[in-house]
Amino acid sequence: MPVLGLGVWQMAAGGETEQAVEWALEAGYRHIDTASMYRNEQSVGAALRRSGLPREQVFVTTKLMPARTSAARELEKSLERLSLDYVDLYLIHWPLPLLSARLWRELESLQKRGLAREIGVSNFGRDRLETLMQGASRMPAVDQVQFSPFRYRRRLLDYCLEQGIVFEAYSPLERGQGLQDPAITAVAERLGRTPAQVMLRWAIQHQAVVIPKSSRRERIRSNAELFDFELADSDMRILDALDRTNGSARARG
């Protein structure tokens, strides 16, 4: 699973999504994250086809709306919209206490059928993960949650790492609201980096997979320039101290 991906939440179907995915693939991204709820799976699929890249070179995630009654039927619809035979990762988009256990068993069956290479969850805190596992035959491969220096969910992060669950961060740039923070801009200026690069690097150094969203070509490219520098321990502590959640497990999106 590539540590950097492009998220397409709130991107309009059609030109905006297709162009963003094309730019991301041109910039070297090999991980695209969508969902049935986003209503742009068809646009993601169109961009993937036009790229000419072999299917096995691009990691594609989509998500099940848990209010739907049949995970199999919903994944088949997503695959049709994406024009794919399988997805690399299929997630339950958010927990529903009365449905999550049954849906998880369905996802396990879909994985056995080869329709999803891996299965996981999104927006699950530790308590929801533990409840889900009571009737499951395997752990989720991934838990995708909102995570940034301002939402440093360290207890959930530590739990996932202990359990071998990949911790994936959506909204790692706090939807752009953290880019003007004085602490972040000071670190960025000293390192000659953008605030976005600093925030993304912080998450990666906490062993998170990141899926920043952008439909602007220059930002898509800039967000990918993360692997030729590191944050010092002192810089990591500066960003850690921005946390406003006190370890809260709440998340949405």
Residues known to be catalytic: 38
What's at 152, amino acid-wise?
Y
Strand ranges (DSSP E) for 68-172?
Answer: 87-92, 116-122, 142-146, 166-170
Residue 153 in contact with residue 126, Cβ under 8 Å? Answer: no
Residue 82 in contact with residue 60, Cβ under 8 Å? Answer: yes
Backbone angles phi, psi at 151, to 5 degrees: -130, 60
What is the Cα–Cα distance from 61 to 118, expressed in whole angstroms?
9
| C-alpha distance from residue 120 to each of 3, 140, 144 (Å) | 16, 4, 8
SS3 state at 247: coil
What is the DSSP-derived secondary structure letter of residue 144? E
Cβ neighbors of 71 (< 8 A, separation 6 or more) are 64, 103, 106, 107, 110
Residue 200 in contact with residue 191, Cβ under 8 Å? Answer: no
Strand ranges (DSSP E) for the chain?
Answer: 6-7, 31-33, 59-64, 87-92, 116-122, 142-146, 166-170, 208-210
